[in-house]
Amino acid sequence: MYSKDVTAQNPWFIQESDLSAATTAAHETQFALANGYRSLRGESPFCPAQYPGAFYAGLYDKSEAAVTELVVCPNPLPFRVYVDYDEVLVGKKGASQYTRVLDMAQGVVSSWLTYQAETGSRLTMKSDRYVSRANRHRWAERWEFRADNFSRRIIIKIAIDGTVLNNAQHPLDAVKHLEVTDRGRLDVGAVSGIFLHARTRDSGVPIHEGEVLLCPDGEDSLKLLLCRPLAERVEAVYELHLEQGKPLVLYRLGFGQAVLGKANTEIGLKEGLSDFISSGYEAELSAHRTVLAQFWEDADIQISGDDRAQRALRFNLFHLSACANPLDNRVSIGAKGLHGEGYKGHVFWDTETFMLPFFIFTQPKTARSLLSYRYNTLQGARENARQGGHKGARFPWESADTGVEVTPPWGVDYAGHLVRIWTGEQEVHINADITYAVLKYLQMSGDRLFLLEQGLQILLETAQFWASFAQWNPERQRYEIRNVIGPDEFHEHVHNNTYTNYLAAWALQKTRDLVHQLETEDPDSLKNILDRARVTRTEVESWMEVAEKLYIPMDKERGLFEQFEGYFKLQDIPITEWDKNGMPLWPKNLDLRRLNETQLIKQPDVVMLFAMIGEEFSQEVKIKNYEYYEKRTMHKSSLSPSIYAMVGLGLGKHDHAYEYFIKAAETDIVDNQGNTSHGLHAANAGGTWQSAVFGFGGLSIDRDGTVRIEPWLPPHWNKLRYSFYWRSVRLIVEVQQELCKVFSDTPLNIRSGDREYRASQEGVEIPRKI
């Protein structure tokens, strides 16, 4: 315990040696632990939380908030230690040797501190914490105390805090979503602890939190002194008897649940904790590790020769994986993961476009569950379409529990003026993004059951929406999609956004193709699905007219897609300066309120198509467009650099790829956007994975469905190793500077350059042209 056998060099570890007021909130995101069901932001055991955050996936409430939001739930983490009544806190004079380490391999956060009280008594402490990925209601801490120079009791206080608010730091947006219905002492057999019951004020969801303290040394060592129920909080105070030099261990076992949906999913707190006490801390930790080991087996990417990139990449995979729960298809992943309150826990295109590829390629079951969330919110999506006067299903730009649009229509600026937010009405591309993810999942998994049960219906209903949303322009004899916002949010109210129109037409086409295919293979099922979707067979064919005549603006002479109609006529202001990280600086004398009058863009828009369905375009077209748009991209979204890295690598553009990749990979580990405190940049985490695998790893799927590998490594990388699933076949790709080797647990033809190779368990070598 007392020798911190960790080093900053180990790329499985994230280490913190200091906590200041300026960094605490961001570190709470970095050290958050979650299992897709619940999350606990990374409150240091030796410092009260700055932004306390206990969340349950899918638990939303509105109350006085502008729109429904993910609820900050009662915080079960407060734990205070008192040496001779002197409160142990990092930052106080007596505190030394503070270290906190997230071990991503184990899914455990360990913290160390030595504290010398004013009386001179010196205590050394270690705390380990996990949130179980095996039994998702469970979380636990193991504490170890050593009295260095005294033999006496110390005092410990635990609490469950229901006074929490959402947006607590914001003067206007702070909202109370909880009503604490009961709290007090909890006895589970001979073991004591505390409980707190609450309920969301609008949505009425019961939340139960309980925790107990156990000391293997028995009752003589740990004694409950008092339980203090306060209005919305409960505290229990214990004494722990220490003998000088003799380490004492304490376990804190926690159990929590939010009873979403039907009440019969409720497990009694006592029952839940009793079972946990029976199995114990170590057994649960072992089960948790087993799940996590399987995750790393499936999803780890190894980079030799670059610990910085290796650690940052794993950081993203660890936290992104913590947001998903394959067993609950009523929930998806918000833009900030389960790691903070940012974007109100709402689900955006981020999930399907940036995060899902990671899950599709490494954890197909989880991917399926995440897509089912969209299926389960179809009713809301239908309502959105109907409200806009359209047919079919229109998925919301911001989604919560029902699929009904929850983008706030109005924001408030600093001056208090209402600012119209148009994304809810105009960022319709979300519908094509979901189609893309469904099709990508179907392609990679070959999951026919999902196709029949949910996938095709999603495609049909969104296709129906597109067909009714596109407008026929009789003058130009073309279909148009007007008044939209593409991925680049610098430009609103644009017409015929290439990204949107291209993907919409592609979606209509792909959906029709699937219908044709199924008509041959399983006409009964098709009929059934069409009925469920309220789509006629004739209607499907009629979509082809729309798909074919949907206008894609293009400068054919230059071979350039026009981001939207009229974009090329906008002011073309060159970017001439970059910061030390290679990120563009705003051109001088630019009026930031009139960005919409320039060709400067926030993030890839046309180029985004190449990232998603690159197989549809020739290299020549891709290169021309990439070169044009990259010069005009300000990278003002965390989603931007990873996409440019990935697409660029596929086009032989290696110059900035590593810088883009590192920028993306380190977004939250170094807080380079300055808002890690609000939560994980979850889309960026997925984008980082895509840069590594699709970019450096060179993985793509040709139009004929063949796996293609075209890797490239930065010069200082010795090896890149990644794996993925192709229709239940597991492939491992090992790329070195001189050669690439592909292993497959079932023999499979793959392609690289213009050659095909037969991958097998023994591996096949693909020569590399460096």
The least distance separating its own copies from the CB of residue 138, rounded to whole angstroms, comes to 27
DSSP strand E in 506-548: where?
Answer: none
Annotated active-site residue in 211, 352, 425, 489: 489
Q: Is 112 helix (H, G, I), strand (E, B) or coil?
A: strand
Q: How far is the CA of 279 from the CAs of 212, 228, 275, 276, in angstroms?
A: 14, 28, 6, 5
Q: Residue 180 region, left (φ>0) first, then alpha (ψ -120 to 50), else beta? A: beta
Residue 433, Cα to own-chain centre: how many angstroms? Answer: 16
- Alpha-carbon distance of 255 to 76, in angstroms, equals 9
Give the residue carrying structure tokens 């650690």: 311
489 is catalytic: yes
The least distance separating its own copies from the CB of residue 591, rounded to whole angstroms, comes to 16
- Alpha-carbon distance of 526 to 285, in angstroms, equals 46
* Of residues 34 and 156, the one with the C-beta less far from its own copies: 156
The least distance separating its own copies from the CB of residue 76, rounded to whole angstroms, comes to 18
Q: Is the Cα dihedral 130, 134, 135, 137 positive or negative? A: positive
* Of residues 22 and 263, the one with the C-beta less far from its own copies: 22
Q: What is the 3-state secondary structure (H, E, C) of 29-89?
A: HHCCEECCCEEECCCCCCCCCCCCCEEECCCEECCCCCCCEECCECECCCEEEEECCEECC
* Of residues 80 and 478, the one with the C-beta less far from its own copies: 80
* Of residues 592 and 770, the one with the C-beta less far from its own copies: 592
The least distance separating its own copies from the CB of residue 237, rounded to whole angstroms, comes to 5
The least distance separating its own copies from the CB of residue 192, rounded to whole angstroms, comes to 16
The least distance separating its own copies from the CB of residue 486, rounded to whole angstroms, comes to 28
Q: How far is the CA of 241 from the CAs of 153, 158, 249, 296, in angstroms?
A: 4, 17, 11, 40
The least distance separating its own copies from the CB of residue 347, rounded to whole angstroms, comes to 25
Give yes or no for a contact between 71 and 162, defined as CB atoms under 8 angstroms apart.
no
Residue type for 594, please? R
* Of residues 80 and 708, the one with the C-beta less far from its own copies: 80
The least distance separating its own copies from the CB of residue 232, rounded to whole angstroms, comes to 5
Give the residue carrying structure tokens 């706030």: 408
- Alpha-carbon distance of 618 to 566, in angstroms, equals 24
The β-bridge relationship of strands 729-736 and 248-258 is: unpaired
Other residues' Cβ atoms within 10 Å of the Cβ of residue 118: 12
- Alpha-carbon distance of 755 to 770, in angstroms, equals 17
- Alpha-carbon distance of 741 to 361, in angstroms, equals 18
Q: What is the dihedral of CA 716, 717, 718, 723, to 10 degrees?
A: -170
* Of residues 283 and 412, the one with the C-beta less far from its own copies: 412
- Alpha-carbon distance of 623 to 560, in angstroms, equals 10
Residues pairing with 411 in the sheet: 419
* Of residues 87 and 202, the one with the C-beta less far from its own copies: 87
The least distance separating its own copies from the CB of residue 90, rounded to whole angstroms, comes to 12
Give yes or no for a contact between 174 and 167, defined as CB atoms under 8 angstroms apart.
yes
Give yes or no for a contact between 57 and 38, defined as CB atoms under 8 angstroms apart.
yes
* Of residues 87 and 266, the one with the C-beta less far from its own copies: 87
The least distance separating its own copies from the CB of residue 235, rounded to whole angstroms, comes to 8
DSSP letters spanning 613-628: HGGGS-HHHHHHHHHH
* Of residues 171 and 474, the one with the C-beta less far from its own copies: 171
SS3 content of the chain, % helix, strand, coil (to 5): 35, 25, 40
- Alpha-carbon distance of 343 to 645, in angstroms, equals 26
For residues 39-50, one letter each, b for 16 or more C-beta atoms within 10 angstroms of the residue's C-beta and e for the rest, the string is bbbbbbbbbebb
Q: Which residues bind its own copies (CB under 8 A)?
A: 21-22, 64, 80, 82, 84-85, 87, 91-93, 119, 121, 152-153, 155-157, 163, 165, 169-172, 174, 176, 180, 225-226, 228, 230-232, 235, 237, 239, 414-416
* Of residues 22 and 190, the one with the C-beta less far from its own copies: 22
Catalytic center residues: 489
